[in-house]
Amino acid sequence: MPEITYREALKRALREEMQRDPTVVIWGEDVVAYAGGGAYGVTAGLAKEFPGRVRDTPIAEEAIVGVGLGAAMGGLRPVCEIMTVNFTLVAWDQIVNHVAKQSHMFNGQIKVPMVIRTPNGHGRTAATHSQNFDAWFASIPSLKVVAPATPYDAKGLLKTAIRDDDPVIFLEHLQLYSTRGEVPDEEYLIPIGEADYKRRGKDITIVTWGRMTIESLKAAKILAEEGIDVEIVDLRTLRPMDVPTILESVRKTNRAIVVEEGWRTCGLGAEIAATIQEQAFNYLDAPVARVAGLEVPMPYARNLERATIPFAEDVVEAVRAMMRNEY
Amino acid sequence: MPTNITMPQMGFDMTEGTIAAWLKKEGDMVTRGEPIAEIETDKTTIQIEAFASGVLRKIIAQPGQRVPVGEVIAIIADPSEAIDEPIARAATPQPESSVLPQPAESVATSVVVSGVVPEGSERIVATPVAKRIAQEHGIDLRLVKGSGPEGRITKADVEAFLASMPKAAPAPPAPAVAPVAAPAPAALPPQPQPEPVPVVGIKQPLSRMRQTIAARMAASKQQVPHFYITVSVEMDAALALREQINAALKSEGVKVSINDMVIRAAALALRRFPNLNASFMNDGIQMHDHINIGVAVSVPDGLVTVTVRDADTKSLKQISQEMTALAARAREGKMLPSDYGGQTFTISNLGMYGVDNFIAIVNQPDAAILAVATAQPMPVVREGQIVIRTMMNLTLSGDHRVTDGAEAAQFLNEIKRLLENPWGLVL
Amino acid sequence: MDRESLISLYRQMLLIRVFEDRAAEMYAKAKIAGFLHLYNGQEAIAVGAVSALNPDDEIVVNYRDHGWALARGCSARAVMAELFGRATGTTGGRGGSMHLVDVSRHFWGGYAIVGGHLPLAVGLGVAAQYLGTGRVTLCSMGDGSTNIGTFHAAMNWAKLWNVPVIFVVENNQYAMGTAYEVHSAVPMLTKAAGYNMYAEEVDGMDVMAVREAVCRAAERARSGLGPSFLNMVTYRFRGHSMADPDVQRSKEEIAEWRKRDPITRFADEVLLKRELVTQADLDAIRKSVEEEVEDAIQFADQSPEPPLESLYDYIYMQPVSNMQIGGSLIRPPKLGGRVAPNGKHHVSAQTSYA
């Protein structure tokens, strides 16, 4: 199977869906002209291919989301790009008070088939540009929240998200855009709400998503050499979460570590750990542990940034400690 | 028609208001929409309007008075209309209906681990999955050494313990009566599968109690190396003493049984043989400070073991009274948590069923169990003569990891001595 | 306009007035809870504007929305039932006073975050433009909305993309309790001028003036001239909401504005003056309106509350097969038994305890 980048996989998904459905449009800051299309090149070339359907917008995230919402209500399927997840904060009222309220509050009279694409990430970009709000998004009823880790998942999930009749927050990652993976040429879709075993193992379950899936896979390779057989559940969808798959794995391995990039307090790891103990308590052989980002505004300095974000070695350490019965 | 003016709700968080002032007097004409009073809430003062036109006939709430929302504060009516005096209470505002689902049916909870860990013992630190597996296999977690933090027992520890146990042959059918510690539900343990037989007849589903008995008895037979010793006890003196005691205590409604006397005898004997009042642990033999006698009681669905605590310190009368109460609660299924568990030695008595002798299975974690058969007239040899005496067989089953034949025999003979010289039980 | 249409405008305004007065009464009697923002004094805007639009033009308004819902044809029964929180309301009791809606009438709802609905209205306009439906989107807001970021983002975008949208400011002089001079740095029309947007100032208490202004704006939008901004000067006769003691406005000021009551003015200056009706006709209209509202109250009061089983309906329009609500359970299910009802998305196989 051909290998392509995560970025290219996203673009193919956008292209295929735009070819398929003329109501799909792409709006965002610098999605047309800048650097050929998109701050991270995801939409490069699409404006030429689909005249009038890919449009640059003002730097006004509340309007990008709000106008996208109205257009979705009015019959379009907008894919709104927010340049980075940090800027979604400007649109938070639109996302929480409007996008996420329509279908339920108006008793099914309004549907909102829109996608908000935005990358998590860091890269020496300091405190306001290196954040992760996965848990915030995932805490909002009526949102669907997706965070693919691989090019394959990115393509399949973005296509599904565009076709979905509910608003989907589509969380990408700066550090993943250039990663490569196998993506078939044929069309496929990945359902929202289904986790994926990225590795089968018997000793310990790692529940993770997004970039931390890749780091966890690296960790699993190191641990395998030590005889520790790690199972990796890549959530792919953060809301609604595939709890049955998490439980299935934990019931087998009896141990779980949640690996997340964001802050630990009130992070998604807390939710997952609570869910495991609620529903699989009798299967646990150790407390559910968490590997998470350190709770500081992200510093700029190279060494401090690196210390703040979890990497494969942190996952390795956590797994070893649990296997040594230290938790 | 008279119109009640009620304390209005003026804001979503208002539950009561105080009349600040009436802007109209009794007898004044008011028109709909006109302000008639000022209401003070905890936030502000607000004018309230009349929702009907007419004469303000009656002011019920006076300035300064605090009134809940919805209660009548005044009445408006036509000048000539009769109004109900003194106070027509309006319907209080309908409470906001709860949109949350009703509470679930109550959940009958049960102490899952109590079938394994006797009450009153030290808290065992084990992971949930370790506890579950131990329960499935009837393993006493006190026997398992924990390798986790602070000695926490993990799944691996339980599995290692299971692997270290001798593989037992398929268990024989459970004895008609075997003691169990507590009527606690347990998961069905895996059972050795018998040879396939043609399926005929009705398969009874396993009750919780039957599952527990099955698990515990199978585990004991698999884990405990049993040995058995039987003695015959001449009970005539004990029966005679019992008659005297019961005659004396008749007015108090106390009726001492042979079993009560056996309990007392066993308790006193255990004082002299502390090694029989002990439990086998992986890292040593746990000697118990208290002498708690467990007694198997037959109940409709199986049997349970009740516990007479500190039996060596109790009189026959106390033991009798306690046993009567314990047995009654057990049969009625109304046992208290303190009624069972924590026994250090167990007695199983089938005397009422006319048995000559039987062998019981050790009730883990006890070191031994005493099986009491029926006291019945038997020809025995005394001073070279065949005479008739009331004889009762006692069979002790011992855990060979804790005690040996010689010690157990001496212990059993001490019980025999006490029963044959029964004044020792009273004095 | 013909006689019947003019009488209809009058009746609609009166219906709104009577409805709001009775709603206030029902609130005081605790039949209605939460927030209740009444439309008294502003009736000419909703009625005049709706009369100028096509049935398939889009309407988006703020939380002071009863008048708009009634003017757009929602029944008094459905609106009152919604205020009562009943299953027969416009959203089955989900939204309440601030979130009336009827998408079948292209009334896209009342929105309760000040300024929050403006981008959404622009989006509806962009969709109409993209799909070539020829529909115009009318977006009403209070004067207080014109200072928040979304206002400016929406105005800029509407002008930038030449969106067929009409921004209607129901300028009732107060942002909740804060007077216009205290909350706005510049006169209202200056704000439109900042975006080089076509703008008019309109007497918002003159139903015909409102109607004509909206007609002009809609015509511009339909002919590709883009957005308009209409500053409709008006006044609300009641406080901001039922909780407002209304102490910040002087009695004299209120009395002065009441002289411009849009309903009596329309009756006096149009219907009676042109001898289209007699006073007896007007009395008959009032009687029929009062009966309609009384019927709505009875209907609302007798309507059931929404069924608890409906709680999880429309969490998603496209359900996900194996979801548990909230990623976890609402409350612990019975041991080994069924889980709490979670509506359409209930999947019992995966929700029992381990």
pLDDT attached to residue B111:
28
Residue B416 in domain: yes
Higher pLDDT, B1 or B383: B383
CB-side neighbour CA atoms (13 Å) of C40: 20
Distance CA B322, CA B326 (A): 6
| Cα angle value C93/C95/C96 (rounded, 5°) | 70
Shared domain check, A36 and A83 = yes
For residue A240, say if its preceding peptide bond is cis, omega within 30 degrees of 0.
Answer: yes
Q: Which of A17, A29, A61, A215 is catalytic?
A: A61
Chain C residues in contact with B100 by the CB 8 A cut-off are 308
Shared domain check, B330 and B358 = yes
Number of domains, chain A:
2
**3-class secondary structure, C53:** coil
Question: Counting beta carbons within 10 angstroms of the beta carbon of residue C198, is it exposed (0 to 12), middle (13 to 18) or buried (19 or more)?
Answer: middle
| A142/C315 CB distance under 8 A | yes
Contact, B99 vs C92, CB < 8 A?
A: no
Residues making up chain B, counted from first to last:
427
- Residue range A215-245, pLDDT digits in tens: 999 999 999 999 999 999 999 999 999 999 9
Shared domain check, A150 and A15 = yes
Distance CA C354, CA C351 (A): 9
**3-class secondary structure, A46:** helix
**3-class secondary structure, A78:** strand
| A67/C149 CB distance under 8 A | no
User: What is the reported pTM?
Assistant: 0.71
Residue A85 in domain: yes
Contact, B50 vs B6, CB < 8 A?
A: no
Residue B341 in domain: yes
Distance CA B177, CA B183 (A): 14
Active site residue B137: no
Residue B54 in domain: yes
pLDDT attached to residue B302:
81
CA B44 to chain centroid: 57
What's the mean pLDDT in C209-232?
98
Higher pLDDT, C246 or A61: A61
Distance CA B68, CA C138 (A): 43
pLDDT attached to residue B166:
66
**Does the pLDDT at position C326 exceed 80?**
no
Q: Which of A20-34, A199-213, B89-103, C87-101 bottoms out in mean pLDDT, i.e. has the lowest?
A: B89-103
Query: Mean pLDDT, chain B, as a whole number?
Result: 82
What's the mean pLDDT in A287-300?
96
Establish if C175 touches chain B: CB-CB under 8 angstroms.
no
CB atoms within 10 A of CB B13: 11
A289: CATH: 3.40.50.920
Shared domain check, A72 and A26 = yes
Residue A188 in domain: no
Q: For chain B, give the percent of residues with pLDDT over 70.
A: 83
Residue B201 in domain: no
For residue B86, say if its preceding peptide bond is cis, omega within 30 degrees of 0.
Answer: yes
Establish if A199 touches chain C: CB-CB under 8 angstroms.
no
Active site residue A61: yes
Last residue of a domain, which of A182, A215, A230? A182
Output the six-digit token pair for A101: 């309220």
B81 CA to chain C: closest CA distance, Å? 23
CA A97 to chain centroid: 21
Q: Which residues, 6 or more positions from B418, have their beta carbon under 8 angstroms from its beta carbon?
A: B264, B265, B268, B269, B424, B425
For residue A203, give the nearest of A264, A146, A285 by alpha carbon.
A285
C240 CA to chain A: closest CA distance, Å? 22
Number of domains, chain B:
3
Sheet with strand B72-77: strands edge to edge: B3-6, B72-77, B54-59, B29-30
pLDDT attached to residue C324:
63
Establish if B109 touches chain C: CB-CB under 8 angstroms.
yes
Residue B98 in domain: no
Query: Mean pLDDT, chain A, as a whole number?
Result: 96
- Residue range C128-165, pLDDT digits in tens: 999 999 999 999 999 999 999 999 999 999 999 999 99
pLDDT attached to residue B394:
96
**Does the pLDDT at position B91 exceed 50?**
no
Distance CA C310, CA C342 (A): 9
A97: CATH: 3.40.50.970
Shared domain check, A202 and A155 = no
Question: Counting beta carbons within 10 angstroms of the beta carbon of residue A215, is it exposed (0 to 12), middle (13 to 18) or buried (19 or more)?
Answer: buried
pLDDT attached to residue B84:
67
Range of the domain at B66: 3-77
**Does the pLDDT at position B182 exceed 50?**
no
Q: Quote the longest CA-to-CA distance of chain C.
A: 79
A303 CA to chain C: closest CA distance, Å? 36
- Residue range B135-152, pLDDT digits in tens: 888 888 988 989 988 889
Domain ranges for chain C: 3-302, 308-354
Shared domain check, B369 and B258 = yes
- Residue range B250-306, pLDDT digits in tens: 888 899 999 999 999 999 999 999 999 999 988 888 889 899 999 998 887 788 889
B49: CATH: 2.40.50.100
| C21/B33 CB distance under 8 A | yes
Distance CA B180, CA B343 (A): 11
CB-side neighbour CA atoms (13 Å) of B247: 6
Distance CA B358, CA B229 (A): 11
In this structure, the dihedral spanned by the alpha carbons of residues B117, B123, B126 and B128, taken in order and rounded to 10 degrees, is 70
- β-strand partners of B281: B284
| B51/C25 CB distance under 8 A | yes
Please tell me which residue of chain A has the smallest CA distance to C347. A244
Q: What are phi and psi of B31, to 5 degrees?
A: -115, 150
pLDDT attached to residue B122:
65
Shared domain check, A283 and A261 = yes
| Cα angle value B121/B126/B129 (rounded, 5°) | 130
What's the mean pLDDT in A104-108?
97
B151: CATH: 4.10.320.10
ipTM over 0.90: yes
Residue B322 in domain: yes
- Residue range A168-183, pLDDT digits in tens: 999 999 999 999 999 9
| A62/C321 CB distance under 8 A | no
| C354/A60 CB distance under 8 A | no
Last residue of a domain, which of B60, B77, B94? B77
Distance CA A74, CA A98 (A): 15
Shared domain check, A290 and A171 = no
Q: Which residues, 6 or more positions from A92, have their beta carbon under 8 angstroms from its beta carbon?
A: none
Question: Counting beta carbons within 10 angstroms of the beta carbon of residue B384, is it exposed (0 to 12), middle (13 to 18) or buried (19 or more)?
Answer: exposed
Shared domain check, A201 and A109 = no
Shared domain check, B127 and B20 = no
Shared domain check, A279 and A223 = yes
Neighbour-count burial for C251-276, b at 16+ CB within 10 Å, e otherwise: eeeeeebeebbbbebbbeebbbeeeb
Distance CA C332, CA C330 (A): 7
For residue B93, say if its preceding peptide bond is cis, omega within 30 degrees of 0.
Answer: no
- β-strand partners of C141: C169
Residue A189 in domain: no
| Angle (deg, nearest 10), helices A211-225 and A312-323 | 50
Range of the domain at A274: 196-323
Amino acid at site C343: G
pLDDT attached to residue B88:
42
**Does the pLDDT at position B114 exceed 50?**
no
**Does the pLDDT at position C40 exceed 70?**
yes
Contact, B124 vs B144, CB < 8 A?
A: no
Does C3-302 carry CATH code 3.10.20.440?
no
For B286, the enclosing helix (H) or strand (E) is strand B284-287
Last residue of a domain, which of A132, A158, A182? A182
Distance CA B296, CA B87 (A): 69
Please tell me which residue of chain C has the smallest CA distance to A251. C354
**Does the pLDDT at position B35 exceed 80?**
yes
**Does the pLDDT at position B241 exceed 60?**
yes
Q: Which of B68-72, B336-340, C285-289 bottoms out in mean pLDDT, i.e. has the lowest?
A: B336-340
Shared domain check, A203 and A173 = no
pLDDT attached to residue C72:
98
Where does the pLDDT of residue B183 fall: very low under 50, low under 70, confident under 90, or very high at 90 and above?
A: very low
For residue A119, give the nearest of A183, A175, A164, A35 by alpha carbon.
A175
